[in-house]
Amino acid sequence: MLLHLIILNYNGRHLLAECLPSVVAAARASRHRCEVIVIDNDSADDSVVWLEEHYPEVRVVRRPNRGLTSYNEVVAGLPGPVAVLLNNDIKLDEHCLDPLVEPLLVPGDCFMTAPMCRRFDDTTYEGFRTAVDWRWGLVCATALYPGHEAAIDRPGWTAAAGAAMAVDREKFVAMGGFDPLYLPGRLEDLDFAFRGYQAGYHARYVPEALAWHRGMATFAAVYGREGCDRLALRNTLLFQWKNLRHPRHVARQLICLPIRLAADVLRTPLVGRRRRWAFVRAMVGALARLGRLRAEAYRPRRDLRRERDFFRRFAPSRAWRSTDDTTANVAMATGSLSETTITEARATP
């Protein structure tokens, strides 16, 4: 079977030099036939020249810089059933790929898988067993919720992925891929995962698949910390206005967002110039995109029951408890989990 490993790159020659060798090694170690592709988003550095000189076996696809949406057209034109989507600051364990893609190769409604991800120090856990919560009227997706330590090594469902994921190619294309509403970026992965859940699919966390992430290596270099935070706030509002219709979720926003605006105004004298009016500016930026929201081609299927269930299933208080027998069975069949580990996971309340 053919796997496509697709790395998104923008001015990241130094990151490719550090991380690409692990991706190539993982591709060679897989029992599947693997093709490694780099999508270069009009890099101004020598990324393309460096790739041609050092990795001629890696296919380079040049596209305008459209963030994660650059994946959409490329994935649609590939023949294989599974695509592994990677940031350019991701390293893969040599034996990562086979367990990561296995849930996508068995009959069922899994449309996306996520590996266990650590920072480059190899001790700090980053994700991607993700929960969703509400914080004063804003949705927050996080892998570092209270109790997450108990779930790090256990397979189960996840609310979203992140800088590394594997997708069922046909389902990805049918859903349209990542939504350009959020350009230049932030929250596209949560939006994609939510739309998948609304369509009747689910995403799985596969801890037997290990990856490492430097974190914000490209995005922060372009936008800075404050700019990244503003984009996250703006896109959180867009995610909510586009996707959420359950009365409880609408009420949370109606009650809490005015409080956030007032707090943003009141704290102005207490924060630095770059952090002033952060939420006000995010709100203005989101309102400016309302026209695109109304013409949205990436809307989820409207299902208030599943919308409610998404937030219930992945609430932090429940996320660490859930396990998935199907994932465990797949891992058992491929030998990536021991019988003892599976028994312990299923025994979790």
Q: Which of 169 and 219 is assigned the larger pLDDT?
A: 169
Residue 290: per-residue pLDDT: 87
**What is the average per-residue pLDDT within 275-284?**
90
**What is the average per-residue pLDDT within 184-197?**
94
Task: Give the domains, in start order, of the chain with CATH numbers.
Answer: 2-219+319-346 (3.90.550.10), 224-298 (no CATH)
Task: Determine contact, residues 327/345, Cβ cutoff 8 Å.
Answer: no
Least confident range of 205-214, 219-228, 325-334, 340-349: 340-349
Measured CA to CA, the distance from residue 80 to residue 4 in angstroms comes to 7
**What is the average per-residue pLDDT within 200-228?**
83
Total-model pTM: 0.88
Q: Which amino acid is at 323?
A: T
Measured CA to CA, the distance from residue 249 to residue 185 in angstroms comes to 24
Residue 5 pLDDT greater than 70, yes or no: yes
Structure tokens at 184: 């230049």
Which is it for strands 138-142 and 2-9: parallel, antiparallel or unpaired? unpaired
Residue 274: per-residue pLDDT: 75
- Backbone phi, then psi, for 138, in 5-degree steps? -120, 135
DSSP symbols for 226-258: HHHHHHHHHHHHHHHHHH---HHHHHHHHHHHH
Instruction: Write the pLDDT tens digit of every residue in 216-233.
Output: 656 666 667 777 888 999
**What's the burial of 8, exposed, middle or buried (CB within 10 Å: 0-12/13-18/19+)?**
buried
Average pLDDT of the chain? 88
Instruction: Write the pLDDT tens digit of every residue in 64-104.
Output: 999 999 999 999 999 999 999 999 999 999 999 999 999 99
Residue 220: per-residue pLDDT: 62
Measured CA to CA, the distance from residue 172 to residue 85 in angstroms comes to 11
Measured CA to CA, the distance from residue 331 to residue 349 in angstroms comes to 20
